Every structure is written in C-alpha cells, then in structure tokens.
C-alpha cells in the first residue's frame, strides 16, 4: 500500500527565508517519516534514516536525519554521480503526465537533478537550474573519503517551485504530488538501498514512478 503525507506550510514567508531558520523550524515539526524499507534482500544493511517535509509560498523544504556506519562525500560538482557517496534522494512527479524530477544529494549537499519519464529518457538539468536548490549540511561542504563508525548527519534542502521546469506551478497549496524518498550508497564498503515507499523491482531501481506515494500540500 502506497503511503501518503499531509505536507503543512512552514511559516508565512513571502520570499526565501534563511535556510538555517528553516532547518531549525523543521526540527520542531511533530511528523517525522522513515526511509526504512528494505526491498532487496542481498542489501541488508539498514542505516537509520528519517525526514521531515514542509513548504512555503515559493519552496519545498526537506530535512533528512541520518545515522550510518559508512559515510563518504567525494563528489563536489553539480550533476556528478552523488549516488556513489552517502546519498539521499527525492523523486517527485507534480502532475499525471508521467514526468518526474530526481533530486539527489550527497552528505555535503552536492546535487544532481534530472527529469524524464523513465531511467532511459531522463536528462540532467543545466547547472544554472541546479544551483538554485539551497542546501545546508551538518558536515559542511568539503569532500572526504569513506569514514567508518557510527556517524550522524543532517541535510536540509529548499527546492524552489520554479525548478519544476517542465511544469507551471504557481501555488502548492491544495496540490497533490506523487513522490518517493530514498537513501543509498552505491560505492560504500557496504552498499545499501532504502526507500520510503516500497519498490517492487528485482534489483535496486529508484526510477519507478509507479511506486511513488502521495504528498498532499495542505
């Protein structure tokens, strides 16, 4: 059964609020959601992953909370393969047209953004678009190789609605998006693949919009 979330408005900001303030306010939300579904038996390692989500007039806010045994952040350039590092992801479809956007972040906030209707036709967004995603990591922004031992970190992201560049969205209130959220680490010593909503494929594959749940902006 696909999950759903009622996404509340955070504050009454008209413009773009300070991201540190957004991050602190997200900590106070009652609703916390788990990215804890193991879909593929051969990848049994399960880090502790949670998130909170809210929105404003201009942005969607997500804060990820992670505790894991292997942490890495080697990618520092936009649209590099951040899924090979310690990575969290937000795949989202704003309409019933089959088009989705995949926002992917490593633990220092390096971002990849693609859009398409499947893995095969997904194309990367240009740098000027991706740069508009605001990111705040508790691990700062400097690259580092794999570290072992339990490490906790958070990542707060603010995604402007204008970044859904294949759609025209003026106001989130009252809309329902379909989405899934993920945690992965393709090139860690112990790779892992966790999802918010269950994914029913034989091998790890996050480009599966049929398994997206619902985000209802209230």
Q: For residue 49, give the CATH number of its domain.
A: 2.60.40.1190
pLDDT digits (tens, 9 = 90+) for 68-99: 999 999 999 999 999 999 999 999 999 999 99
| pLDDT at residue 77 in the model | 98
pLDDT digits (tens, 9 = 90+) for 177-218: 999 999 999 999 999 999 999 999 999 999 999 999 999 999
**Could you tell me the residue range of the domain that residue 24 belongs to?**
4-217
Q: Is the pLDDT of residue 57 over 90?
A: yes
Q: Is the pLDDT of residue 1 over 90?
A: no
Which bin fits 108, alpha (ψ -120 to 50), beta or left (φ > 0)? Answer: alpha
Mean pLDDT of 105-124: 97
Could you tell me which of 31, 39, 129 has the C-alpha nearest to residue 79?
A: 129
Give whole-number Cα distances, 110 to 1, 36, 145, in Å.
Answer: 32, 23, 14
d(CA 120, CA 155): 29
| pLDDT at residue 115 in the model | 98
Mean pLDDT of the chain: 97
Q: How many domains does the chain have?
A: 1
Mean pLDDT of 137-154: 97
pTM: 0.98
| pLDDT at residue 93 in the model | 98
pLDDT digits (tens, 9 = 90+) for 6-37: 999 998 888 899 999 999 999 999 999 999 99
| pLDDT at residue 6 in the model | 98
Give the three-class secondary structure for 153. strand
Contacts of 95 (CB under 8 A, 6+ apart): 167
168 is written with which tokens?
């025209």
Supply φ then ψ for residue 24, to 5 degrees.
-65, -40
| pLDDT at residue 42 in the model | 96
| pLDDT at residue 74 in the model | 98
Alpha helices in the chain (DSSP H): 19-27, 127-130
Q: CB burial class (10 A; 0-12, 13-18, 19+) of residue 86?
A: buried
What percentage of the chain reaches a pLDDT higher than 70? 100
């Amino acid at each position: 059964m696909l999950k759903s979330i009622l996404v509340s408005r955070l504050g009454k900001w008209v413009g773009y609020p300070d991201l540190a303030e957004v991050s602190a306010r997200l900590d106070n939300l009652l609703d916390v959601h788990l990215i804890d579904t193991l879909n593929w038996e051969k990848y049994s390692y399960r880090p502790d992953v949670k998130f909170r989500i809210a929105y404003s007039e201009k942005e969607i806010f997500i804060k990820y909370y992670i505790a894991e045994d292997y942490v890495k952040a080697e990618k520092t350039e936009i649209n590099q393969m951040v899924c090979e590092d310690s990575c969290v992801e937000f795949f989202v479809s704003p309409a019933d047209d089959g088009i989705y956007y995949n926002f992917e972040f490593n633990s220092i906030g390096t971002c990849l953004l693609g859009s398409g209707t499947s893995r095969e036709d997904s194309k990367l967004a240009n740098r000027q678009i991706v740069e508009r995603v605001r990111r705040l990591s508790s691990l700062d922004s400097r690259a580092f190789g794999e570290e072992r031992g339990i490490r906790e970190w958070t990542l707060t992201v603010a995604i402007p609605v204008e970044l859904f560049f294949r759609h025209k969205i003026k106001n989130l209130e009252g809309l329902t998006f379909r989405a899934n959220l993920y945690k992965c680490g393709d090139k860690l010593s112990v790779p892992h693949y966790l999802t918010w909503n269950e994914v029913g494929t034989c091998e790890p594959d996050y480009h599966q919009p049929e398994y997206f749940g619902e985000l209802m902006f209230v």
